[in-house]
Structure 1
């Protein structure tokens, strides 16, 4: 364990000195652990990956201020835990949005026209998406929020919003082609 801390300290110092390869090594050593620790709290693999990614952004921005590089692991895990707990708190807000969107969807009636089968298929396919992707799709397309506004509402990065929107669109395309 002590050797790992020393090695992490060397990598942190190298990165602080401008060696970008040191960061790649830190990511290889820690990313899986970050995902596992986040999953332990949030119980959702996709969310855990998002949290790990967001945590790396914070780590990269603040690593130059780390005074004891050997404490990298504890310091970084604290960031992951904090982001995970923040997500759990925000998830309560998200659950309220899900309930509201389901009510709105029940009230949403598609007008009959030549595209009726496509619209019905699209709504059915949206319902099959994971909740986090459904929310982003609905907020973006039905409620016409911007990426920045969705980021604020869901308390996730704009990059995560873009990623969820992209993956949701890809699943929709794939499911609608069949």
Structure 2
């Protein structure tokens, strides 16, 4: 959907003159497009909505630096694009960090003899979990990510992150109970 540049320019000028309603109209005109553009890049509706919301904060902070109000559409969609790519790059860094963590866990040394068996059992149990549950366990317990941060990092809903964490804990409890019964 092509937006009318003159209407955007008028709304930008009105907002810069102190008319808060002009910003409301800009949001009505552009928010859906922001969400669609972000979704096209990140492929997650919830993350796309978060990105669009974050873009509005940036737009409000920087709109006074917009030299040509008629270019609002291109300027704002560029912000959406940049924030979406930043989110994808952050997710890539997290995945790489998790790979490093997996490697470190395989090379654990100097463990107290008494705890060694329990730790090995726990690590073995974690490795037996499906990869998506391993990832959530590591992000939550090792990197202290909140469920919201995990959902953003993995491009899943908060409910899905919570469910994966719950099921992973349950499986680990079963494995540890089996070990303690021996």
Interval containing the TM-score (normalised by the shorter chain): 0.5 to 0.7
- The 1-side partners of 2:4 and 2:121 are apart by 56
* In structure 2, distance between residues paired with 1:43 and 1:3: 24
Poorly superposed stretches of 4+, deviation over 6 Å: 101-104
Aligned residue in 2 for 1:13: 13
2: CA distance, partners of 1:76 / 1:91: 23
| C-alpha RMSD of matched pairs (Å) | 3.9
Paired residue secondary structure (1:67): coil
Distance 1:42 1:14 in 2: 33
**Is the 2:151–2:161 Cα contact (8 Å) retained in structure 1?**
no
Per-residue CA deviations over 1:51-97 (Å, capped at 9, x if unaligned) read: 11111111110001112111100100011111112222222112224
Q: Corresponding residue for 2:141?
A: 142
2:72 match: 72
User: Which of 109, 120, 124 is equivalent to 2:122?
Assistant: 109
Conserved in 1, the CA contact under 8 Å of 2:38 and 2:51? yes
TM-score (norm 1): 0.60
Unmatched tracts of structure 1, length 5 or more: 111-122, 148-159
Rate the CA distance shift 1:172–1:89 in 2: closer, same or farther, 3 A.
closer
- Return the TM-score normalized by structure 2: 0.59
Question: Residues 27-53 of structure 1, C-alpha deviation per residue, up to 9 Å, x if partnerless?
Answer: 111111011111111222222112111
